[in-house]
Structure 1
Amino acid sequence: MALSLKGRSGDMNESRWFQYDDDTEVLVARWDNPKYTVGLQRFRTVYQEKRNRLLKEAEADGRLRFTDDMAEVDDDEQTEVEAQSALMARHILLDMRTPGRDDGKVMIDGEPCDYTIDLGETLLEMNVELFVWVIQKAQELQRDAFSLAEGAEKKPSKSSAGKSSGGRKKSTMPSRSS
Structure 2
Amino acid sequence: MNGLMQGKKGLILGVANNRSIAYGIAKSVVDQGGTVGLTYQGEALKKRVGPIAEDLGAEVFGHCDVTDDGSMDAVFAEVSQRWGGLDFLVHAVAFSDKDELTGRYIDTTAENFDRTMAISVYSLTALARRAEPLMQNGGSILTLTYYGAEKVMPHYNVMG
TM-score (norm 1): 0.23
- Tell which structure's C-alpha radius of gyration is larger: 1
